[in-house]
A and B are shown apart, each in its own frame.
Chain A
């Protein structure tokens, strides 16, 4: 298992390098100077502008600039936010917990919906339950997250007035009350993201279970007199989860896309809303850093999926 882990980690490195090359190429190809504002600002004298260009190495050849950029990123020197007047890495570290909280709990919610519903639907294919679940799954992943978010705000905040629609990082309460307020304001963003993911995963789980349930070893397990419940949970689901894990890992980039939208709707102070506000404020270092952090998170979640994969299917980790 540890050799398998090491191999997975080593595979993640070239992907990260590739992503950094793509991001840097995009930045280098972009017409116009990302730091042009400093150079053309009349308040900045020409020699200061030139000194800045020299400091950031803007006149070096592309590969040298890439190497400098990469080394700086690895050192944790992610630049300085023009707008917030603070180091980018500190800014991102401040915002990251909210994003991870929302994404993490929405994934848990999605699994809690998708697993039981998908398995139940697959064990009774073409029953009423299956058809209802299938219809809801279709509706669920056809509803874009921004529209669900608006519907939730409309129903739960405006008409029913049950839940706050602005996520606040500074709740003026302590102890249990703080947790309660935090829970109340997290319900809607988590539900929007979790139900969207849960809907598409339900379909993955259903088709994966349907593929496995017809195999001979399941019949064997039944023939040995094992209770139906145990056959499903111990024999079918564990094997059906293997393709599901792959699909979940593949859908991780989409999850982050959804997270940006939800953070924007509910004003969650996470890195997604940071990305949008820095794009609107032309804050290039923050934009680059946040995009890179999202890319790293995708790789990280893929790595987690690989670990899960190795645990679900020991054959893979011994290969």
Chain B
């Protein structure tokens, strides 16, 4: 441990001195590659705009989400209500801005859970040989062959009420959905991380670190893990999209958030009985989910181009 910390600054300084003239940081290099994927850049702009809108929107657009106005029932989009109103005359624009916060927050937090669990399980499996590795991979395969949505529904059915009593309806459902979605999306990350670990741990630079006396923990955290993160970032970005779809699906089936929390899926669920008289009610949240998922998928595609060093660009 001590040996490697003492040795590395001098080594780093030597390399940096020679290479300074044409040194490009890995981040800049990735950004240069990412920029060449035009649709990914456009998606980044659109998604950024959506995030700013849902983050700052409710401050600017001050109509409350539960302001019932039977005079403006099922109104078409107008200047007073840019996205129209629902069957209680509630302003859809305000509701969508509010719901977007939750949908995006669920997507990001579920991705974080999935990536953290996946990295832990994948790296433990990748570093240990023998029965621990075999057992963890069996577990991963088992989870991969579980039908996610039915089991998700089962879990929500069984644990919804107790959690609601424990931490309140909104937070309870939020935690449950994030934990459950995260708990069903870690397998691809775990497999990726393990595969990366298996090849990286035999590489010369890891061997050098080991020869210098780096502990196993340091080998993993400083040398192996940073080099295996590229595919994980790509998988993680796709996971955000999957989590948003799953959360909307649950809400759409009437089993996600309670009716007073208008996530995009929930608005769509409420709107589906009024398709013939108020199609705008279903179209706006549907398009919002679609745009969020599409842009995230394109950004994932751009990240794949940016972070795959084997691809020549």
The CA-CA distance from A302 to B141 in the complex, in Å, is 12
Which chain B residues in 149-195 approach chain A with CB under 8 Å? 149-151, 153-155, 157-159, 161-162
Min CB distance B35 to A, Å, is 19
**Contact A287 B157, beta carbon cutoff 8 Å:** yes
Q: With A23-B151, A256-B150 as known contacts, state yes or no: A279 contacts B255, CB within 8 Å.
A: yes
The CA-CA distance from A150 to B147 in the complex, in Å, is 24
Q: Which of B148, B161, B255, B276 sits near A257, CB closer than 8 Å?
A: B148
**Contact B268 A18, beta carbon cutoff 8 Å:** no
Task: Assess whether A129 is interfacial by the CB under 8 Å rule.
Answer: no
Q: Which residues of A contact B301 (CB under 8 A)?
A: 138
Q: Which of A19, A34, A153, A256 sits near B149, CB closer than 8 Å?
A: A256
Q: Which of B138, B148, B272, B290 sits near A142, CB closer than 8 Å?
A: B290
The CA-CA distance from A34 to B155 in the complex, in Å, is 13
Counting chain B residues whose Cβ lies within 8 A of the other chain, the interface size class is 35 or more
Interface string of B242-268 (1 = CB under 8 A from A): 000100110011110000000001001
Q: Which residues of B contact A302 (CB under 8 A)?
A: 145
Task: Assess whether A171 is interfacial by the CB under 8 Å rule.
Answer: no
Q: Which one of B94-102, B125-133, B291-299 is at the interface? A: B291-299
Residue of B nearest to A291 (CB): B150
Interface string of A267-296 (1 = CB under 8 A from B): 000000001100110100001101100110
Q: Which of A15, A154, A254, A282 sits near B282, CB closer than 8 Å?
A: A154
**Contact B145 A15, beta carbon cutoff 8 Å:** yes
**Contact A276 B153, beta carbon cutoff 8 Å:** yes
Task: Assess whether A61 is interfacial by the CB under 8 Å rule.
Answer: no
Task: Assess whether A260 is interfacial by the CB under 8 Å rule.
Answer: yes
The CA-CA distance from A146 to B301 in the complex, in Å, is 24
The CA-CA distance from A27 to B146 in the complex, in Å, is 15
Q: Which of B154, B276, B286, B297 sits near A287, CB closer than 8 Å?
A: B154
Which chain A residues in 98-139 approach chain B with CB under 8 Å? 138-139
The CA-CA distance from A299 to B142 in the complex, in Å, is 10
**Contact B148 A295, beta carbon cutoff 8 Å:** no
Task: Assess whether B198 is interfacial by the CB under 8 Å rule.
Answer: no
Counting chain A residues whose Cβ lies within 8 A of the other chain, the interface size class is 35 or more
Q: With A291-B147, A294-B150, A295-B146 as known contacts, state yes or no: A150 contacts B275, CB within 8 Å.
A: yes
**Contact A144 B147, beta carbon cutoff 8 Å:** no
Task: Assess whether B120 is interfacial by the CB under 8 Å rule.
Answer: no
Min CB distance B99 to A, Å, is 15
The CA-CA distance from A100 to B282 in the complex, in Å, is 29
The CA-CA distance from A16 to B169 in the complex, in Å, is 35
Q: How many A-B residue pairs have CB under 8 A?
A: 129
Residue of B nearest to A203 (CB): B301
Task: Assess whether A147 is interfacial by the CB under 8 Å rule.
Answer: yes
Residue of B nearest to A16 (CB): B145
Q: Which residues of B contact A298 (CB under 8 A)?
A: 145-147
**Contact A22 B272, beta carbon cutoff 8 Å:** no
Q: Which of A27, A252, A275 sits near B153, CB closer than 8 Å?
A: A275
The CA-CA distance from A143 to B249 in the complex, in Å, is 12
**Contact B146 A279, beta carbon cutoff 8 Å:** no
Interface string of B266-296 (1 = CB under 8 A from A): 0010001001100100100010011001100
**Contact A30 B159, beta carbon cutoff 8 Å:** yes
The CA-CA distance from A245 to B162 in the complex, in Å, is 42
Min CB distance B183 to A, Å, is 11
Q: With A26-B155, A144-B293 as known contacts, state yes or no: A290 contacts B150, CB within 8 Å.
A: yes
Task: Assess whether B144 is interfacial by the CB under 8 Å rule.
Answer: yes
Task: Assess whether B241 is interfacial by the CB under 8 Å rule.
Answer: yes
Interface string of A16-47 (1 = CB under 8 A from B): 00110011001100111010000000000000
**Contact A147 B289, beta carbon cutoff 8 Å:** yes
Q: Which residues of A contact B150 (CB under 8 A)?
A: 256-257, 260, 275, 290-291, 294-295
Can you list 24 A-B contacts with CB-CB less than 8 angstroms, sorted by A residue number? A19-B145, A22-B142, A22-B146, A26-B158, A144-B249, A144-B289, A146-B265, A147-B290, A150-B275, A154-B275, A154-B282, A158-B279, A250-B144, A253-B144, A253-B148, A254-B148, A257-B147, A260-B253, A261-B252, A264-B253, A279-B255, A280-B254, A288-B154, A294-B150
For the A-B complex with A261-B149, A279-B154 known, give 12 more contacts whose Cβ atoms are closer than 8 Å: A23-B154, A32-B161, A32-B162, A142-B241, A143-B290, A158-B279, A252-B145, A253-B144, A256-B150, A260-B149, A261-B253, A291-B150
Query: Which 7 A-B residue pairings sit nearest by Cβ, starting from the closest?
Result: A257-B149, A30-B158, A142-B294, A147-B286, A294-B147, A31-B162, A142-B293
List residues of chain A with CB under 8 Å of any chain B CB.
Answer: 15, 18-19, 22-23, 26-27, 30-32, 34, 138-139, 141-147, 150-151, 153-154, 158, 250, 252-254, 256-257, 260-261, 264-265, 275-276, 279-280, 282, 287-288, 290-291, 294-295, 297-299, 302
